[in-house]
Chains A and B, each alone.
Chain A
Amino acid sequence: MGLIMNDETILLAHGSGSRLSHDLIEKNVLPPLNNPLLAKLDDSAVFDLSGRLAFTTDSYVVSPIFFPGGDIGKLAVCGTVNDLSMSGAAPLYLSLSFIIEEGLTIGELKKVVGSIKAAAEEAGVNIVTGDTKVVNRGSADKLFINTSGIGIIPEDIDISGANAKVGDKIILSGTIGDHGIAVMSQREGLKFSVPVQSDCAPLNKLVSQMLEASSKINCLRDPTRGGLATTLNEFARQSGVGIRIEEEKIPVRDGVRAACELLGFDPLYVANEGKLVAIVAPNNAGKILAKMKRNKYGTEAAIIGEVTDEHKGKVILKTRLGASRIVDMLSGELLPRIC
């Protein structure tokens, strides 16, 4: 049995189910993620759960796999934790599947697994089952990850994109566009230096604190691909209401704004991985916002607009200059493979 070095590359043989496969996983993946359910290494993780469950899955194909403020591993945990959180669920268990392109180094894999461990610890979730495949060069791009997650929804929670009511307030948890611009800044042929980090973060604790303030959150969603504009349009259509937001109330970092100017993007359409939008009854908005501002992922939270009975199904933006325009869904692709 040879010593595995960090700069050693992963070969097709590592995915063959042979001793090499076992070595790869037992040395590099299992120890950091260890927990009693995973340690059994049976074909399925077996556990008891009761109550209303939420179950979700997502695949992560971001390029490059390392970017300022995170990497594909952190993203794979946070993305799935956040999807569960947005239905009000407390996330518990995640599955983790790697599709590795031969040629990835062991060091790169270890770094990604380290990020998975850190993100899972922060979110308080366990990775309880997993899989690793290695494919030919060109059949994947370095590393793809799939995670699925399961969580329990507390009683009295009814969150849906169809629940927005006229008069409700729209709360955004912080600055928009950070993730998309951080990833874009690393793209081959477009490397530019912006002081922007991805906002990639697990939001389950923020959500549970919001629910402590009031269980009456009508809509909750994380504005990932397609950005804030797309999420608000989804709410407007699902709930059959109008949404009016004010440009000057939406926080955008200077670096993101500058990069968007340069690239011809609108921050409203740029992806986020650590932000949420909540639609809440006006009498609950103040206490929910106050709670959010005390969480490190909500310090810049703000009420950015409200639900109206005008322009049903549409999102209207009041520009800085005081004019009004329709903010449509993202059309076409802005940036491919950002998550």
Chain B
Amino acid sequence: MKFIDEFRDVELAKKLVNRIKQLSTRPTRLMEFCGGHTVSIMRSGLRQLLPPTAQMLSGPGCPVCVTANADIDKAIALASLPDVIITTFGDMMKVPGSYSSLQQARAAEADIRIVYSTQDALQIARDNPTQSVIFIGIGFETTAPTIAASVLQAENEGIKNYYVLCLSKLCPPIMKALLDLGELKLDGIVCPGHVSAIIGSRPYEFIPRDYGVACVVSGFEPLDILLSVEMLVEQIESGKPKVEIAYRRSVKPEGNKTALEVMDRVFEVNSADWRGIGVVPASGLKIRNKFERFDAEQAFSITLEPVREAKGCICGDILRGVKTPNDCKLFRKVCSPEHPVGPCMVSSEGSCAAYYQYETV
């Protein structure tokens, strides 16, 4: 198996599309939670193939996009401190905060380095013992275990100059928040694949039980997503919503025990600030007191200007699935990947970037 071609088989895709067309009798609103799913859907043109009854909405599952301006401002303020090296995933560089971006801070001589994993950040800390190295810890349950592991590793090795600005967020609580808002009237959710590889499928069980909304955990290839849509439509048509896994090659109902234990040792559940949604209780992670010397917010004092939001940007509505990028007055006119106004145009997994790059005809 090559693990790519098998999941792009055209004949199988046609069969699935036909089956969805046969099954789907009434208008159904489905949300793909994850930005990775949005990109795959746009790139393969999958929306065009689905019957008009199966409507796909894009969700808030892009870690860069949901990072609030206030948190980006914090990262920029930390970057301006003396003897600090900021390490971050590349997508964060261009995201505009209230007044500036990390990219602009770097141009103004802040030491900001793009890394591909927390291991790179730790190595920079080892190589620069007289500087403070801060990792901007964005992401969902997928990245949280690697951030936790880096904290444990720093403690074991006695690395004293490594810190994390913890902005980790949790998926099931934000799904609950969106369902409680009631704006969307969802029938089904294509649940995130990589997040579920860590947390399993059980944390979604409240969704069919309390909200009557179908859930299928999906992989990222077009066939994975078609299969998930087919399973969702089948559940919805039969009136029996439940949690199912279409991504069995990666996801077990109980998740990844080791990763969950590492996360639990380092983090505790805390409220988190979500762009477009606001502060949601118990939807994020915070470094436990035991490890607080690694917590950048505890170790450094910064002063912040009042938070400002970009005028006309509807990233918040897009993240809640209430609007699509095409509804935004700035989209393609003022806001483009070269000149992003909001974060959804910056991240490669952002809805606006995906709609911009993969416009259908």
Total contacting residues, chain B, CB less than 8 A: 31
> 1/0 per residue A320-337: CB within 8 Å of B?
111111101001100000
A323 touches B44 (CB 8 A): yes
With A325-B358, A332-B337 known as contacts, the answer to whether A258 contacts B222 (CB < 8 A) is no
Is A319's CB within 8 Å of the partner chain B?
Answer: yes
Is B46's CB within 8 Å of the partner chain A?
Answer: yes
B116 touches A190 (CB 8 A): yes
State the Cβ distance, B37 to closest chain A Cβ, in Å: 13
B10 touches A320 (CB 8 A): yes
In the assembled complex, the Cα of A325 lies from the Cα of B39 at a distance in Å of 13
> 1/0 per residue B220-231: CB within 8 Å of A?
001000000000
**CB within 8 Å of B: which A159-196 residues:** 189-190
> 1/0 per residue A293-326: CB within 8 Å of B?
0000000000000000001000010011111111
State the Cβ distance, B185 to closest chain A Cβ, in Å: 27
B49 touches A322 (CB 8 A): yes
With A266-B43, A320-B10, A331-B356 known as contacts, the answer to whether A325 contacts B361 (CB < 8 A) is yes
CB-defined contacts of B115 to chain A, threshold 8 Å: 189
Cβ-closest chain A residue relative to B4: A257
CB-defined contacts of A138 to chain B, threshold 8 Å: none
State the Cβ distance, A15 to closest chain B Cβ, in Å: 29
With A254-B2, A331-B356, A331-B357 known as contacts, the answer to whether A324 contacts B338 (CB < 8 A) is no
> 1/0 per residue A248-273: CB within 8 Å of B?
10000010011001001010000000
A321 touches B13 (CB 8 A): yes
B10 touches A324 (CB 8 A): no
In the assembled complex, the Cα of A321 lies from the Cα of B43 at a distance in Å of 10
CB-defined contacts of A266 to chain B, threshold 8 Å: 43, 357
With A331-B337, A332-B337 known as contacts, the answer to whether A321 contacts B361 (CB < 8 A) is no
In the assembled complex, the Cα of A311 lies from the Cα of B361 at a distance in Å of 9
State the Cβ distance, B165 to closest chain A Cβ, in Å: 20
> 1/0 per residue B1-37: CB within 8 Å of A?
0101000101001100000000000000000000000
With A321-B10, A322-B10 known as contacts, the answer to whether A328 contacts B361 (CB < 8 A) is no
CB-defined contacts of A332 to chain B, threshold 8 Å: 337-338
CB-defined contacts of A328 to chain B, threshold 8 Å: 356-357, 359
State the Cβ distance, B9 to closest chain A Cβ, in Å: 9
CB-defined contacts of B358 to chain A, threshold 8 Å: 325-326
Chain B interface residues toward A at CB < 8 A: 2, 4, 8, 10, 13-14, 39, 42-49, 114-116, 120, 222, 336-338, 348-349, 356-361
